[in-house]
Amino acid sequence: MSTARMSDTKRVGTGSKLPAISKLTLRLLFINVLAVVILAGGILYLDQFQRGLMIERLEALQADAGIIAAALGETAVIPRIAPSQRNPTLPQKIDPLLNQQERIDPLLSQQVLQRLVPPIQCRARLFSPNGALVTDTRLLGVGGAEVSLQELPPPIMINAVQRWAASLNNWINRSFRSNLQQYVEHPNQTAHHYPVAAKALTGDSNTSAQRFDNGSVIILAAAPVQRYKQVVGALLLTADTDDIDARVRSVRGDILLLSGLSFLVTVLLSIYLAWSIARPIRLLAAGADRVTRDLLPVEDIPDLSSRNDEIGDLSISLRTMTEALQDRINAVERFAADVAHELKNPLSSIRSAAETMQRVDGVNSRSQLTELLQDDIRRMDRLITDISAASRLDAELARELSKPVDLREMLTIIIEVYAARSNSQNIQLNFSTEVDEPILVTGIEERLAQVFQNLVDNAVSFSPQQGSVTIILTRHINLATVTIEDEGPGLPADNTNRVFERFYSERPTSEKFGNHSGLGLSIAKQIIEAHGGEITGSNRTPINGPPGKIYGACFTVTLPLLHSN
Protein backbone atom coordinates (compact mmCIF):
# COMPACT_ATOMS: atom_id res chain seq x y z
CA MET A 1 0.00 0.00 0.00
CA SER A 2 2.83 2.40 0.85
CA THR A 3 4.46 1.65 -2.53
CA ALA A 4 1.25 2.60 -4.31
CA ARG A 5 1.03 5.84 -2.38
CA MET A 6 4.66 6.63 -3.25
CA SER A 7 3.97 6.04 -6.92
CA ASP A 8 0.96 8.35 -6.72
CA THR A 9 3.16 10.98 -5.12
CA LYS A 10 5.69 10.67 -7.92
CA ARG A 11 3.00 11.08 -10.54
CA VAL A 12 1.91 14.42 -9.07
CA GLY A 13 5.46 15.56 -8.39
CA THR A 14 7.90 17.42 -10.54
CA GLY A 15 7.75 14.79 -13.23
CA SER A 16 4.27 15.91 -14.30
CA LYS A 17 3.66 19.25 -15.97
CA LEU A 18 1.99 21.88 -13.85
CA PRO A 19 -1.19 23.42 -15.33
CA ALA A 20 -0.86 26.83 -16.98
CA ILE A 21 -3.51 28.30 -14.68
CA SER A 22 -3.70 26.91 -11.19
CA LYS A 23 -6.99 26.04 -9.50
CA LEU A 24 -6.29 28.63 -6.83
CA THR A 25 -6.02 31.31 -9.54
CA LEU A 26 -9.37 30.28 -11.00
CA ARG A 27 -10.99 30.32 -7.57
CA LEU A 28 -9.66 33.78 -6.79
CA LEU A 29 -10.82 35.05 -10.16
CA PHE A 30 -14.26 33.52 -9.69
CA ILE A 31 -14.75 34.91 -6.18
CA ASN A 32 -13.54 38.43 -7.00
CA VAL A 33 -15.26 38.71 -10.36
CA LEU A 34 -18.51 37.29 -9.02
CA ALA A 35 -18.92 40.28 -6.70
CA VAL A 36 -18.49 42.72 -9.62
CA VAL A 37 -20.89 40.75 -11.81
CA ILE A 38 -23.55 40.66 -9.09
CA LEU A 39 -23.10 44.39 -8.51
CA ALA A 40 -23.42 45.16 -12.21
CA GLY A 41 -26.39 42.83 -12.64
CA GLY A 42 -28.18 44.35 -9.66
CA ILE A 43 -27.60 47.91 -10.80
CA LEU A 44 -28.79 47.10 -14.31
CA TYR A 45 -32.25 46.65 -12.88
CA LEU A 46 -32.65 50.30 -11.75
CA ASP A 47 -36.36 49.61 -11.40
CA GLN A 48 -36.92 51.74 -8.32
CA PHE A 49 -35.16 54.73 -9.85
CA GLN A 50 -37.13 54.46 -13.08
CA ARG A 51 -40.40 53.84 -11.24
CA GLY A 52 -39.89 56.96 -9.14
CA LEU A 53 -39.33 59.08 -12.23
CA MET A 54 -42.39 57.55 -13.84
CA ILE A 55 -44.58 58.29 -10.83
CA GLU A 56 -43.38 61.89 -10.74
CA ARG A 57 -44.17 62.28 -14.45
CA LEU A 58 -47.64 60.74 -14.02
CA GLU A 59 -48.42 63.04 -11.11
CA ALA A 60 -47.25 66.07 -13.07
CA LEU A 61 -49.25 64.99 -16.13
CA GLN A 62 -52.31 64.40 -13.96
CA ALA A 63 -51.98 67.89 -12.50
CA ASP A 64 -51.65 69.36 -16.01
CA ALA A 65 -54.70 67.42 -17.14
CA GLY A 66 -56.72 68.83 -14.24
CA ILE A 67 -55.63 72.39 -14.97
CA ILE A 68 -56.33 72.16 -18.69
CA ALA A 69 -59.68 70.43 -18.07
CA ALA A 70 -60.67 73.21 -15.69
CA ALA A 71 -59.68 75.83 -18.26
CA LEU A 72 -61.73 74.03 -20.90
CA GLY A 73 -64.68 73.87 -18.57
CA GLU A 74 -64.56 77.62 -18.01
CA THR A 75 -63.85 78.85 -21.53
CA ALA A 76 -64.73 76.23 -24.11
CA VAL A 77 -68.17 75.07 -23.03
CA ILE A 78 -71.28 76.39 -24.73
CA PRO A 79 -73.78 77.04 -21.95
CA ARG A 80 -77.37 75.86 -22.09
CA ILE A 81 -79.91 78.64 -23.24
CA ALA A 82 -82.99 78.94 -21.13
CA PRO A 83 -86.38 79.84 -22.76
CA SER A 84 -86.14 83.33 -21.27
CA GLN A 85 -82.82 83.86 -23.06
CA ARG A 86 -83.86 82.66 -26.47
CA ASN A 87 -83.67 84.86 -29.58
CA PRO A 88 -87.05 86.52 -29.97
CA THR A 89 -86.55 86.97 -33.68
CA LEU A 90 -86.59 83.23 -34.22
CA PRO A 91 -89.55 81.05 -33.79
CA GLN A 92 -89.30 78.72 -30.80
CA LYS A 93 -89.58 75.67 -32.94
CA ILE A 94 -86.66 76.58 -35.16
CA ASP A 95 -84.26 77.90 -32.43
CA PRO A 96 -81.48 75.10 -32.32
CA LEU A 97 -80.04 76.20 -28.97
CA LEU A 98 -83.26 76.23 -27.04
CA ASN A 99 -83.24 73.67 -24.17
CA GLN A 100 -79.99 72.15 -25.54
CA GLN A 101 -77.50 70.60 -23.00
CA GLU A 102 -74.18 72.30 -22.31
CA ARG A 103 -71.49 71.14 -24.72
CA ILE A 104 -67.90 71.76 -25.72
CA ASP A 105 -67.24 74.22 -28.46
CA PRO A 106 -64.71 72.54 -30.82
CA LEU A 107 -63.28 75.84 -32.00
CA LEU A 108 -62.81 77.28 -28.55
CA SER A 109 -61.37 74.02 -27.24
CA GLN A 110 -58.82 74.00 -30.06
CA GLN A 111 -57.78 77.54 -29.17
CA VAL A 112 -57.37 76.64 -25.49
CA LEU A 113 -55.38 73.51 -26.25
CA GLN A 114 -53.15 75.36 -28.72
CA ARG A 115 -52.16 77.76 -25.92
CA LEU A 116 -51.83 75.33 -22.99
CA VAL A 117 -50.49 72.07 -24.44
CA PRO A 118 -47.21 73.11 -26.17
CA PRO A 119 -45.40 74.13 -22.92
CA ILE A 120 -45.92 70.68 -21.38
CA GLN A 121 -44.98 68.85 -24.59
CA CYS A 122 -47.68 66.23 -24.68
CA ARG A 123 -50.57 65.15 -26.84
CA ALA A 124 -54.11 66.14 -25.86
CA ARG A 125 -57.36 64.59 -26.98
CA LEU A 126 -60.80 65.85 -26.04
CA PHE A 127 -63.80 63.56 -26.05
CA SER A 128 -67.51 64.44 -25.86
CA PRO A 129 -69.80 62.85 -23.27
CA ASN A 130 -70.76 60.13 -25.71
CA GLY A 131 -67.06 59.27 -26.29
CA ALA A 132 -66.62 60.86 -29.69
CA LEU A 133 -63.34 62.60 -30.43
CA VAL A 134 -63.73 66.35 -30.46
CA THR A 135 -60.16 67.60 -30.75
CA ASP A 136 -56.73 66.00 -31.18
CA THR A 137 -53.63 68.17 -30.92
CA ARG A 138 -51.74 65.83 -33.23
CA LEU A 139 -54.04 66.95 -36.01
CA LEU A 140 -53.42 70.56 -35.04
CA GLY A 141 -49.62 70.23 -35.10
CA VAL A 142 -49.09 71.37 -31.51
CA GLY A 143 -47.73 69.85 -28.32
CA GLY A 144 -46.10 66.52 -28.78
CA ALA A 145 -47.77 65.96 -32.13
CA GLU A 146 -45.23 67.73 -34.28
CA VAL A 147 -43.53 65.29 -36.55
CA SER A 148 -39.93 66.10 -37.45
CA LEU A 149 -37.50 64.29 -39.65
CA GLN A 150 -33.94 63.70 -38.51
CA GLU A 151 -31.32 62.14 -40.66
CA LEU A 152 -29.81 59.03 -39.10
CA PRO A 153 -26.05 58.82 -38.78
CA PRO A 154 -24.32 56.46 -41.17
CA PRO A 155 -23.91 52.89 -39.87
CA ILE A 156 -20.14 53.22 -39.61
CA MET A 157 -20.55 55.74 -36.75
CA ILE A 158 -22.40 53.18 -34.62
CA ASN A 159 -19.73 50.84 -33.39
CA ALA A 160 -20.21 47.37 -31.98
CA VAL A 161 -20.15 48.53 -28.36
CA GLN A 162 -22.90 51.06 -28.91
CA ARG A 163 -25.02 48.52 -30.77
CA TRP A 164 -24.49 46.03 -27.98
CA ALA A 165 -25.40 48.62 -25.33
CA ALA A 166 -28.54 49.64 -27.23
CA SER A 167 -29.62 46.03 -27.67
CA LEU A 168 -28.99 45.33 -24.01
CA ASN A 169 -30.99 48.38 -22.97
CA ASN A 170 -33.93 47.41 -25.20
CA TRP A 171 -33.85 43.86 -23.87
CA ILE A 172 -33.90 45.11 -20.28
CA ASN A 173 -36.81 47.47 -21.02
CA ARG A 174 -38.84 44.73 -22.71
CA SER A 175 -38.13 42.30 -19.89
CA PHE A 176 -39.03 44.62 -17.03
CA ARG A 177 -42.08 46.18 -18.75
CA SER A 178 -43.72 43.03 -20.03
CA ASN A 179 -46.45 43.35 -17.38
CA LEU A 180 -47.70 46.70 -18.77
CA GLN A 181 -50.73 46.85 -21.07
CA GLN A 182 -49.83 47.33 -24.71
CA TYR A 183 -50.78 50.69 -26.19
CA VAL A 184 -52.88 50.55 -29.37
CA GLU A 185 -53.68 53.56 -31.58
CA HIS A 186 -57.12 53.01 -33.11
CA PRO A 187 -58.01 54.67 -36.47
CA ASN A 188 -61.49 55.81 -35.40
CA GLN A 189 -60.69 56.26 -31.73
CA THR A 190 -63.25 57.01 -29.07
CA ALA A 191 -62.99 57.47 -25.34
CA HIS A 192 -64.00 53.87 -24.83
CA HIS A 193 -60.78 52.69 -26.48
CA TYR A 194 -58.87 54.17 -23.54
CA PRO A 195 -60.04 53.01 -20.10
CA VAL A 196 -58.68 56.12 -18.41
CA ALA A 197 -60.68 58.38 -20.73
CA ALA A 198 -63.83 56.29 -20.34
CA LYS A 199 -63.45 56.55 -16.56
CA ALA A 200 -62.95 60.31 -16.80
CA LEU A 201 -66.39 60.57 -18.47
CA THR A 202 -67.81 59.24 -15.22
CA GLY A 203 -66.15 62.07 -13.29
CA ASP A 204 -62.97 60.38 -12.03
CA SER A 205 -59.45 61.50 -12.82
CA ASN A 206 -56.94 58.69 -13.26
CA THR A 207 -53.63 57.77 -14.85
CA SER A 208 -52.10 54.78 -16.61
CA ALA A 209 -48.84 53.59 -18.13
CA GLN A 210 -48.73 51.41 -21.24
CA ARG A 211 -45.99 50.07 -23.48
CA PHE A 212 -45.14 49.97 -27.16
CA ASP A 213 -43.79 46.94 -28.97
CA ASN A 214 -40.20 48.19 -28.69
CA GLY A 215 -40.43 48.40 -24.91
CA SER A 216 -40.84 52.16 -24.58
CA VAL A 217 -43.56 53.49 -22.29
CA ILE A 218 -46.34 55.99 -22.86
CA ILE A 219 -48.15 57.55 -19.92
CA LEU A 220 -51.80 58.59 -19.96
CA ALA A 221 -53.67 61.01 -17.70
CA ALA A 222 -57.38 61.73 -18.03
CA ALA A 223 -59.54 64.33 -16.29
CA PRO A 224 -63.22 65.17 -16.66
CA VAL A 225 -64.17 68.48 -18.23
CA GLN A 226 -66.93 69.85 -16.00
CA ARG A 227 -69.27 72.79 -16.05
CA TYR A 228 -70.89 73.34 -12.69
CA LYS A 229 -70.06 69.73 -11.74
CA GLN A 230 -71.64 68.47 -14.91
CA VAL A 231 -69.32 66.35 -17.03
CA VAL A 232 -69.30 67.78 -20.53
CA GLY A 233 -66.29 65.84 -21.80
CA ALA A 234 -63.05 64.07 -21.01
CA LEU A 235 -59.51 65.29 -21.57
CA LEU A 236 -56.80 62.71 -22.27
CA LEU A 237 -53.14 63.72 -22.11
CA THR A 238 -50.46 61.32 -23.34
CA ALA A 239 -46.70 61.74 -23.23
CA ASP A 240 -43.76 59.55 -24.03
CA THR A 241 -41.02 58.77 -21.54
CA ASP A 242 -38.05 59.16 -23.83
CA ASP A 243 -36.41 61.62 -21.47
CA ILE A 244 -36.81 59.18 -18.56
CA ASP A 245 -35.44 56.36 -20.66
CA ALA A 246 -32.54 58.57 -21.69
CA ARG A 247 -31.73 59.38 -18.07
CA VAL A 248 -31.92 55.73 -17.05
CA ARG A 249 -29.92 54.72 -20.09
CA SER A 250 -27.27 57.30 -19.24
CA VAL A 251 -27.04 56.13 -15.63
CA ARG A 252 -27.02 52.54 -16.77
CA GLY A 253 -24.25 53.25 -19.24
CA ASP A 254 -22.14 55.01 -16.65
CA ILE A 255 -22.59 52.13 -14.24
CA LEU A 256 -21.77 49.61 -16.94
CA LEU A 257 -18.64 51.56 -17.79
CA LEU A 258 -17.57 51.68 -14.15
CA SER A 259 -18.44 48.00 -13.77
CA GLY A 260 -16.35 47.17 -16.82
CA LEU A 261 -13.40 49.11 -15.46
CA SER A 262 -13.91 47.48 -12.06
CA PHE A 263 -14.07 44.10 -13.75
CA LEU A 264 -10.80 44.75 -15.58
CA VAL A 265 -9.06 46.00 -12.44
CA THR A 266 -10.45 43.08 -10.42
CA VAL A 267 -9.21 40.55 -12.96
CA LEU A 268 -5.74 42.09 -13.04
CA LEU A 269 -5.53 42.30 -9.25
CA SER A 270 -6.85 38.76 -8.92
CA ILE A 271 -4.25 37.47 -11.35
CA TYR A 272 -1.52 39.32 -9.46
CA LEU A 273 -2.83 38.07 -6.12
CA ALA A 274 -3.09 34.52 -7.42
CA TRP A 275 0.40 34.77 -8.91
CA SER A 276 1.84 36.02 -5.63
CA ILE A 277 0.10 33.24 -3.70
CA ALA A 278 -0.28 30.29 -6.04
CA ARG A 279 3.19 30.46 -7.61
CA PRO A 280 5.18 30.24 -4.35
CA ILE A 281 2.83 27.54 -3.07
CA ARG A 282 3.41 25.55 -6.25
CA LEU A 283 7.17 26.03 -5.83
CA LEU A 284 6.94 24.80 -2.26
CA ALA A 285 4.82 21.84 -3.33
CA ALA A 286 7.28 20.99 -6.11
CA GLY A 287 10.19 21.23 -3.66
CA ALA A 288 8.36 19.03 -1.16
CA ASP A 289 7.68 16.48 -3.91
CA ARG A 290 11.36 16.43 -4.85
CA VAL A 291 12.35 15.94 -1.23
CA THR A 292 9.78 13.15 -0.90
CA ARG A 293 10.96 11.42 -4.04
CA ASP A 294 14.72 11.85 -3.81
CA LEU A 295 15.26 12.71 -0.10
CA LEU A 296 17.05 15.90 -1.13
CA PRO A 297 18.55 18.25 1.47
CA VAL A 298 16.59 21.11 3.02
CA GLU A 299 18.14 23.60 0.59
CA ASP A 300 15.90 22.20 -2.15
CA ILE A 301 12.87 23.74 -0.40
CA PRO A 302 12.53 27.38 -1.61
CA ASP A 303 13.43 29.91 1.09
CA LEU A 304 10.58 32.45 1.08
CA SER A 305 11.12 33.78 4.58
CA SER A 306 11.78 37.26 3.18
CA ARG A 307 8.07 37.61 2.28
CA ASN A 308 7.19 38.15 5.96
CA ASP A 309 3.73 36.66 5.51
CA GLU A 310 1.95 33.34 5.97
CA ILE A 311 3.60 31.84 2.87
CA GLY A 312 6.98 32.83 4.28
CA ASP A 313 6.00 31.13 7.55
CA LEU A 314 4.94 28.06 5.54
CA SER A 315 8.33 28.04 3.82
CA ILE A 316 10.11 28.23 7.17
CA SER A 317 7.91 25.47 8.58
CA LEU A 318 8.51 23.20 5.57
CA ARG A 319 12.27 23.76 5.73
CA THR A 320 12.25 23.13 9.49
CA MET A 321 10.11 20.03 9.04
CA THR A 322 12.38 18.76 6.25
CA GLU A 323 15.44 19.36 8.38
CA ALA A 324 13.83 17.59 11.34
CA LEU A 325 12.78 14.73 9.05
CA GLN A 326 16.28 14.38 7.71
CA ASP A 327 17.69 14.46 11.22
CA ARG A 328 15.24 11.75 12.19
CA ILE A 329 16.16 9.70 9.11
CA ASN A 330 19.84 10.11 9.92
CA ALA A 331 19.15 9.17 13.53
CA VAL A 332 17.29 6.06 12.40
CA GLU A 333 20.18 5.13 10.12
CA ARG A 334 22.66 5.62 12.93
CA PHE A 335 20.41 3.68 15.27
CA ALA A 336 20.19 0.82 12.76
CA ALA A 337 23.97 0.86 12.35
CA ASP A 338 24.47 0.85 16.13
CA VAL A 339 21.99 -1.99 16.54
CA ALA A 340 23.73 -4.00 13.83
CA HIS A 341 27.07 -3.38 15.50
CA GLU A 342 25.84 -4.29 18.99
CA LEU A 343 24.12 -7.45 17.76
CA LYS A 344 27.10 -8.48 15.71
CA ASN A 345 29.35 -8.85 18.77
CA PRO A 346 27.25 -11.49 20.61
CA LEU A 347 26.46 -13.22 17.30
CA SER A 348 30.16 -13.48 16.55
CA SER A 349 30.77 -14.85 20.04
CA ILE A 350 27.93 -17.37 19.63
CA ARG A 351 29.22 -18.48 16.23
CA SER A 352 32.75 -18.85 17.58
CA ALA A 353 31.55 -20.83 20.62
CA ALA A 354 29.41 -23.09 18.42
CA GLU A 355 32.29 -23.79 16.05
CA THR A 356 34.64 -24.46 18.99
CA MET A 357 32.14 -26.81 20.67
CA GLN A 358 32.28 -29.10 17.65
CA ARG A 359 36.04 -29.52 18.04
CA VAL A 360 36.36 -30.08 21.83
CA ASP A 361 35.54 -33.24 23.69
CA GLY A 362 36.11 -32.34 27.33
CA VAL A 363 33.13 -32.01 29.59
CA ASN A 364 34.52 -28.94 31.34
CA SER A 365 35.28 -27.22 28.04
CA ARG A 366 31.81 -27.96 26.71
CA SER A 367 30.30 -26.70 29.99
CA GLN A 368 32.23 -23.42 29.72
CA LEU A 369 31.22 -22.98 26.09
CA THR A 370 27.58 -23.69 26.96
CA GLU A 371 27.70 -21.08 29.74
CA LEU A 372 29.23 -18.61 27.29
CA LEU A 373 26.49 -19.33 24.77
CA GLN A 374 23.82 -18.76 27.43
CA ASP A 375 25.41 -15.44 28.47
CA ASP A 376 25.53 -14.24 24.88
CA ILE A 377 21.94 -15.31 24.30
CA ARG A 378 20.82 -13.44 27.44
CA ARG A 379 22.81 -10.42 26.28
CA MET A 380 21.12 -10.54 22.86
CA ASP A 381 17.71 -10.92 24.49
CA ARG A 382 18.41 -7.91 26.71
CA LEU A 383 19.63 -5.91 23.72
CA ILE A 384 16.59 -6.77 21.63
CA THR A 385 14.24 -5.94 24.51
CA ASP A 386 15.89 -2.55 25.14
CA ILE A 387 16.07 -1.77 21.43
CA SER A 388 12.38 -2.58 21.03
CA ALA A 389 11.52 -0.36 23.99
CA ALA A 390 13.65 2.49 22.64
CA SER A 391 12.10 2.27 19.17
CA ARG A 392 8.55 2.38 20.61
CA LEU A 393 9.27 5.16 23.06
CA ASP A 394 8.27 8.09 20.82
CA ALA A 395 4.92 6.53 19.92
CA GLU A 396 4.18 5.58 23.52
CA LEU A 397 5.04 9.06 24.78
CA ALA A 398 2.65 10.52 22.18
CA ARG A 399 -0.19 8.15 23.14
CA GLU A 400 0.04 8.28 26.93
CA LEU A 401 -1.80 11.05 28.77
CA SER A 402 0.03 13.58 30.89
CA LYS A 403 -1.18 14.48 34.36
CA PRO A 404 0.17 16.30 37.44
CA VAL A 405 3.01 14.39 39.09
CA ASP A 406 4.37 15.13 42.57
CA LEU A 407 8.17 14.78 42.33
CA ARG A 408 8.61 14.93 46.11
CA GLU A 409 6.30 11.97 46.65
CA MET A 410 7.77 10.02 43.71
CA LEU A 411 11.38 10.37 44.92
CA THR A 412 10.35 9.47 48.47
CA ILE A 413 8.74 6.22 47.27
CA ILE A 414 11.79 5.34 45.13
CA ILE A 415 14.14 5.82 48.12
CA GLU A 416 11.88 3.76 50.39
CA VAL A 417 11.87 0.92 47.83
CA TYR A 418 15.68 0.92 47.65
CA ALA A 419 15.94 1.07 51.45
CA ALA A 420 13.70 -2.01 51.77
CA ARG A 421 15.73 -3.90 49.15
CA SER A 422 18.74 -5.94 50.26
CA ASN A 423 21.91 -3.97 49.57
CA SER A 424 25.15 -5.96 49.48
CA GLN A 425 27.25 -2.79 49.14
CA ASN A 426 25.65 -1.09 52.16
CA ILE A 427 24.93 2.04 50.09
CA GLN A 428 23.17 4.78 52.01
CA LEU A 429 20.55 6.81 50.14
CA ASN A 430 19.97 10.38 51.32
CA PHE A 431 17.05 12.57 50.26
CA SER A 432 17.26 16.31 50.78
CA THR A 433 14.65 18.99 50.02
CA GLU A 434 13.74 22.33 51.53
CA VAL A 435 10.18 22.19 50.26
CA ASP A 436 7.47 20.80 52.51
CA GLU A 437 4.68 20.96 49.97
CA PRO A 438 4.12 18.98 46.78
CA ILE A 439 6.23 19.94 43.77
CA LEU A 440 4.01 19.31 40.76
CA VAL A 441 5.05 18.84 37.15
CA THR A 442 3.02 17.72 34.15
CA GLY A 443 4.08 14.40 32.75
CA ILE A 444 3.70 10.65 32.52
CA GLU A 445 4.37 9.32 35.99
CA GLU A 446 5.61 5.86 34.93
CA ARG A 447 8.13 7.33 32.49
CA LEU A 448 9.48 9.88 34.97
CA ALA A 449 9.82 7.15 37.59
CA GLN A 450 11.71 5.05 35.02
CA VAL A 451 14.22 7.91 34.58
CA PHE A 452 14.87 8.43 38.27
CA GLN A 453 15.06 4.69 38.96
CA ASN A 454 17.67 4.33 36.22
CA LEU A 455 19.70 7.23 37.58
CA VAL A 456 19.57 5.84 41.13
CA ASP A 457 20.48 2.34 39.84
CA ASN A 458 23.52 3.76 38.07
CA ALA A 459 24.56 5.79 41.12
CA VAL A 460 24.25 2.76 43.41
CA SER A 461 26.13 0.47 41.00
CA PHE A 462 29.07 2.88 40.68
CA SER A 463 29.29 3.76 44.38
CA PRO A 464 31.95 2.01 46.48
CA GLN A 465 31.25 -0.20 49.50
CA GLN A 466 29.46 1.72 52.27
CA GLY A 467 29.24 4.76 50.03
CA SER A 468 26.30 7.14 49.79
CA VAL A 469 23.97 8.45 47.10
CA THR A 470 22.40 11.86 47.64
CA ILE A 471 19.19 12.98 45.96
CA ILE A 472 18.42 16.72 46.19
CA LEU A 473 15.07 18.23 45.15
CA THR A 474 14.82 22.02 44.74
CA ARG A 475 12.32 24.41 43.25
CA HIS A 476 13.00 27.63 41.45
CA ILE A 477 10.61 30.12 39.85
CA ASN A 478 9.41 27.92 36.97
CA LEU A 479 11.60 24.82 37.30
CA ALA A 480 11.94 21.80 39.51
CA THR A 481 15.50 20.43 39.77
CA VAL A 482 16.50 16.93 40.87
CA THR A 483 20.21 16.27 41.49
CA ILE A 484 21.55 12.74 42.01
CA GLU A 485 25.15 12.49 43.30
CA ASP A 486 27.26 9.41 43.90
CA GLU A 487 30.80 8.67 45.10
CA GLY A 488 31.91 6.62 42.12
CA PRO A 489 34.69 7.16 39.58
CA GLY A 490 32.74 9.86 37.74
CA LEU A 491 32.19 10.44 34.04
CA PRO A 492 34.68 10.56 31.14
CA ALA A 493 36.63 13.73 31.73
CA ASP A 494 37.00 14.57 28.03
CA ASN A 495 33.30 14.43 27.17
CA THR A 496 30.65 13.97 29.84
CA ASN A 497 27.88 13.94 27.24
CA ARG A 498 29.05 10.60 25.82
CA VAL A 499 27.16 8.77 28.54
CA PHE A 500 23.89 9.77 26.84
CA GLU A 501 24.85 8.13 23.56
CA ARG A 502 23.14 4.89 22.56
CA PHE A 503 24.90 1.67 23.53
CA TYR A 504 27.53 3.56 25.52
CA SER A 505 28.36 1.31 28.45
CA GLU A 506 31.16 1.77 30.92
CA ARG A 507 30.37 -0.40 33.93
CA PRO A 508 32.32 -1.08 37.16
CA THR A 509 34.98 -3.79 36.89
CA SER A 510 33.20 -5.81 39.55
CA GLU A 511 30.07 -6.09 37.38
CA LYS A 512 29.69 -8.92 34.88
CA PHE A 513 29.99 -7.90 31.24
CA GLY A 514 26.79 -7.85 29.19
CA ASN A 515 24.33 -7.10 32.01
CA HIS A 516 23.54 -3.64 30.52
CA SER A 517 22.72 -2.63 26.97
CA GLY A 518 23.93 0.98 27.22
CA LEU A 519 20.49 2.41 26.30
CA GLY A 520 19.38 3.46 29.79
CA LEU A 521 20.70 7.04 29.83
CA SER A 522 19.80 7.53 26.16
CA ILE A 523 16.18 6.57 26.93
CA ALA A 524 16.22 8.79 30.04
CA LYS A 525 17.35 11.78 27.96
CA GLN A 526 14.63 11.08 25.40
CA ILE A 527 11.94 10.93 28.10
CA ILE A 528 13.04 14.12 29.87
CA GLU A 529 13.25 16.09 26.62
CA ALA A 530 9.76 14.87 25.67
CA HIS A 531 8.56 16.44 28.94
CA GLY A 532 10.14 19.77 28.04
CA GLY A 533 13.03 19.30 30.46
CA GLU A 534 16.77 18.75 30.37
CA ILE A 535 19.19 16.19 31.80
CA THR A 536 22.93 16.78 32.13
CA GLY A 537 25.86 14.90 33.62
CA SER A 538 28.99 16.25 35.32
CA ASN A 539 31.73 15.29 37.77
CA ARG A 540 31.83 16.25 41.41
CA THR A 541 35.01 18.19 42.12
CA PRO A 542 36.07 19.79 45.40
CA ILE A 543 35.80 23.52 45.71
CA ASN A 544 39.13 23.98 47.50
CA GLY A 545 40.73 20.59 46.79
CA PRO A 546 43.43 19.62 44.34
CA PRO A 547 42.56 20.18 40.68
CA GLY A 548 41.50 17.12 38.72
CA LYS A 549 40.25 15.30 41.78
CA ILE A 550 36.85 13.63 41.14
CA TYR A 551 34.55 12.66 44.00
CA GLY A 552 31.83 11.08 41.87
CA ALA A 553 29.23 11.74 39.19
CA CYS A 554 26.37 14.21 39.36
CA PHE A 555 23.25 14.01 37.17
CA THR A 556 20.87 16.98 37.10
CA VAL A 557 17.29 16.82 35.82
CA THR A 558 15.23 20.00 35.32
CA LEU A 559 11.49 19.96 34.56
CA PRO A 560 9.02 22.82 34.14
CA LEU A 561 6.61 23.24 37.03
CA LEU A 562 2.91 22.68 36.53
CA HIS A 563 1.88 26.36 36.57
CA SER A 564 4.47 27.25 33.89
CA ASN A 565 3.46 24.55 31.35
The β-bridge partners of 209 are 219
Lowest-pLDDT choice from 223-237, 461-475, 509-523, 544-558: 509-523
Q: What does the mean pLDDT of the chain come to?
A: 77
Say what the pLDDT of residue 24 is. Answer: 62
CA distance 453 to 471: 12
Task: Tell me how far apart the terminal alpha carbons of the chain are, to the nearest angstrom.
Answer: 40
Say what the pLDDT of residue 248 is. Answer: 77
CA distance 73 to 228: 9
CA distances from 70 to 198, 229, 232 (A): 18, 11, 11
Tell whether the model's pLDDT for residue 6 goes beyond 50.
no
Tell whether the model's pLDDT for residue 212 goes beyond 70.
yes
More reliable by pLDDT, 343 or 52? 52
Say what the pLDDT of residue 476 is. Answer: 86
CB 521 within 8 Å of CB 503: no
pTM for the whole structure: 0.46
Edge-first strand order for the sheet with 468-475 is 428-433, 468-475, 479-485, 552-560, 534-540
Tell whether the model's pLDDT for residue 144 goes beyond 70.
no
Domains in the chain, start-ordered, CATH in brackets? 1-45+253-291 (no CATH), 51-146+154-240 (3.30.450.20), 297-399 (1.10.287.130), 401-565 (3.30.565.10)
The pLDDT tens digits for 24-82 are 667 767 777 776 676 666 665 666 777 788 889 899 999 999 999 999 888 888 876 55
CB 451 within 8 Å of CB 526: no
Say what the pLDDT of residue 374 is. Answer: 80
The pLDDT tens digits for 356-386 are 777 777 777 778 778 777 877 877 777 777 7
With pLDDT > 70 as the criterion, what percentage of the chain qualifies?
73
CB 283 within 8 Å of CB 302: yes
The β-bridge partners of 32 are none
Contacts of 19 (CB under 8 A, 6+ apart): none
CA distance 269 to 262: 10
Band of pLDDT at residue 545, cut at 50, 70 and 90:
low
